[in-house]
Amino acid sequence: MPSIGVHCYELRVRDADKNWRIIYRIDDDAILILEVFNKTTRATPTNVIKSCKKRLKKYDIDTED
């Protein structure tokens, strides 16, 4: 998902009555789960995108050498 960041992806999971989305990023040493939500519209909600960007920024700052 380029709207969130490099190496970010969306996994789609369908269960009996809902469509779930898992947004994640793949790093060399980790897979970061950024958000899991029930998708009810075609577009990814703006608040989910903002939340993911904020989490990535904090993670990147916290893991700098």
pLDDT per residue over 7-62, tens digit each?
999 999 999 999 999 999 999 999 999 999 998 888 899 999 999 999 999 999 99
Binned at pLDDT 50, 70 and 90, residue 64 comes out as confident
Give residue 28's domain range: 8-62
pTM of the prediction?
Answer: 0.87
In a domain, 51, yes or no: yes
Question: Could you give the CA distance from residue 43 to residue 40 in angstroms, rounded to a whole number?
Answer: 9
In a domain, 47, yes or no: yes
In a domain, 3, yes or no: no
pLDDT of residue 41: 87
Residue among 25, 19, 21 nearest 11 (CA): 21
